[in-house]
Amino acid sequence: MNSPALLINNLTKVYSNGHKALHGINLEIPHGDFFALLGPNGAGKSTTIGIITSLIKKTEGDIQIYGIDIDKNFVEAKTYIGLVPQEINFNTFEPINEILTNQAGYYGVTRDEAIPESEKLLKKLGLWDKRFHFSRKLSGGMQRRLMVARALIHKPKLLILDEPTAGADVEVRRLMWDYLKFLNENGTTIILTTHYLEEAENLCKNIAIIDDGKILRNSSMRNFLNELKSENLILYTENPLKNDFSVEGLDINIIDENTCEVSISVDSSINFLIEELSKKGVKVKSLKNKTSRLEELFIRMVDKNGK
Partner 1 sequence: MENNFSLQIIAYNTIVRKEVLRFSRIWKQTLIPPVITNILYFIIFGNLIGERIGQINSFTYTDFIFPGLLLMSVITHSYTNTVSSLYISKYHRYIEELLVSPIQNYTILAGFITGGVIRGLAVGVVVILAAQFFVNFTVHSIILMLIVILLSSTLFSMCGFLNGLFANDWDDINVIPTFIMTPLTYLGGIFFSISMLPEVWQDIALVNPILYLINALRYSMLGITDVSIIFAFFIILIFNIFIFALCMYFLSIGKGLRT
Binding of partner 1 at residue 112 (CB under 8 A)? Answer: no
Smallest distance from partner 1 to CB 15, Å: 7
The C-alpha atoms of residue 103 and residue 94 are separated, in whole angstroms, by 12
Question: How distant is the alpha carbon of residue 136 from its chain centre?
Answer: 25
C-alpha distances (whole Å) from 149 to each of 82, 145, 183 are 10, 6, 12
Selected range binding partner 1 among 95-103, 120-128, 163-171, 195-203, rule: CB under 8 A: 95-103
The C-alpha atoms of residue 14 and residue 162 are separated, in whole angstroms, by 21
Binding of partner 1 at residue 189 (CB under 8 A)? Answer: no
User: Sign of the C-alpha dihedral, residues 16, 20, 23, 25?
Assistant: negative
Smallest distance from partner 1 to CB 202, Å: 27
Q: Which is nearer to partner 1, 93 or 132 (CB)?
A: 93
C-beta neighbour count of 33 within 10 angstroms: 20
Q: Which is nearer to partner 1, 82 or 141 (CB)?
A: 82
The DSSP element (H or E) to which 105 belongs, if any, is helix 96-106
Binding of partner 1 at residue 167 (CB under 8 A)? Answer: no
Using CB under 8 A as the criterion, what x/- string covers residues 58-87 for binding partner 1? Answer: ----------------xxxxxx-x-x-x-x
Instruction: Name residues whose C-beta falls within 8 Å of residue 190's C-beta, 6 or more positions apart in sequence.
Output: 33, 34, 35, 158, 159, 160, 161, 180, 183, 184, 203
Binding of partner 1 at residue 108 (CB under 8 A)? Answer: yes
The DSSP element (H or E) to which 216 belongs, if any, is strand 214-220
Binding of partner 1 at residue 134 (CB under 8 A)? Answer: no
Binding of partner 1 at residue 50 (CB under 8 A)? Answer: yes
Give the ranges where 107-196 is alpha helix by DSSP (H).
Answer: 111-124, 140-152, 170-185
Q: Which is nearer to partner 1, 27 or 83 (CB)?
A: 83
Binding of partner 1 at residue 116 (CB under 8 A)? Answer: no
Termini Cα distance of the chain: 40
Q: Which is nearer to partner 1, 99 or 197 (CB)?
A: 99
Binding of partner 1 at residue 102 (CB under 8 A)? Answer: yes
User: Sign of the C-alpha dihedral, residues 158, 29, 217, 22?
Assistant: negative
Identify any residues that bridge with 211 across adjacent strands, giving them in sequence order: 214
Binding of partner 1 at residue 89 (CB under 8 A)? Answer: yes
Selected range binding partner 1 among 108-116, 220-228, 232-240, 292-300, rule: CB under 8 A: 108-116
Exactly one of 28, 62, 69, 98 binds partner 1 (CB under 8 A); that residue is: 98
Smallest distance from partner 1 to CB 9, Å: 21
Interacting residues toward partner 1 by CB under 8 A: 15, 50, 53-57, 74-79, 81, 83, 85, 87, 89-94, 98, 101-103, 105-110, 150
